[in-house]
A = this chain, B = another copy of it.
Amino acid sequence: MKLNSLEDLLLHELRDLYSAEMQIMKALPKLTQAAASPALAEVFAAHLDETERQLDRLDTIFEDLGEATHGASCPAMEGLLEEGQEIVAEEGDPAVKDAALIAAAQRVEHYEIAGYGAARTFAEQLGYSEIAELLQHSLDEEHAADDKLNNLALSEVNFEAANH
């Protein structure tokens, strides 16, 4: 990682996001399978499609910048997904585990909200308006995914969990 200019920093943020999205893409099928609630499984499955599109957007951005996608790992996302994996592996009540999976997934969404928010702002500041727009699109999707998880927790999953 080089940090000599705002352009270096934008590139670092984009590579961090790329590593995060790749890890999320691998983890989502396991989360979908682990969900007891069909509605939750559906949210995870839909987010897999979204994640693929977000990776496509990042590919477009790297192409525009003439830079390679690789070069950063994202240890934070490793830790975040490890926490999700621990819940999947745990014995327990299916409804309570669903509520736990939602809480873990919302931490993942919030990581991405912070990451896309920072990258979007740096792109704007560098005058890369098309790149900023692509990042804003993914940021909006992450906010919407977080809202969907929230609504599902409040409308269904937590009540199930409280009654067990």
Contacts from A to B (Cβ < 8 Å): 1-6, 8-9, 12-13, 16, 74-80, 82-83, 86-87, 90-93, 96-97, 99-100, 102-103, 106-107, 109-111, 113-115, 117-118, 121-122, 125-126, 153-154, 158-159, 161-162, 164
Contact of A76 among B82, B87, B90, B118 (CB under 8 A): B82
Report whether A96 and B1 are in contact in the complex, using a CB–CB cutoff of 8 Å.
Answer: no
19 A-B contacts, Cβ less than 8 Å apart?
A3-B87, A3-B91, A3-B100, A4-B96, A5-B93, A5-B161, A9-B100, A74-B79, A75-B78, A76-B76, A76-B79, A76-B83, A77-B79, A79-B79, A103-B118, A110-B110, A110-B114, A111-B111, A125-B159
Name A83's closest neighbour in chain B (CB-CB).
B76
- Specify which chain B residues have a CB less than 8 angstroms from the CB of A96 in the assembled complex: 3-6, 8-9
Inter-chain CA distance A8–B5, complex, in Å, is 47
User: Which 9 residue pairs are nearest across A and B when measured between Cβ atoms?
Assistant: A3-B92, A79-B79, A110-B110, A103-B118, A76-B79, A75-B79, A110-B114, A107-B114, A76-B80
Q: Which residues of B contact A74 (CB under 8 A)?
A: 79, 83
Other A-B pairs beyond A6-B96, A9-B103, 9, CB < 8 Å: A5-B93, A76-B79, A76-B80, A76-B107, A79-B79, A106-B114, A106-B117, A107-B111, A126-B162
Question: How far apart sit A99 and B82, CA to CA, in the bound complex (Å)?
Answer: 28
Tell me which residues across on chain B come within 8 A of A6, comparing CB atoms.
Answer: 96, 99, 158, 161-162, 164
Across-interface contacts of A110 in B (CB, < 8 A): 110-111, 113-114
Closest Cβ of chain B to A16, distance in Å, is 8
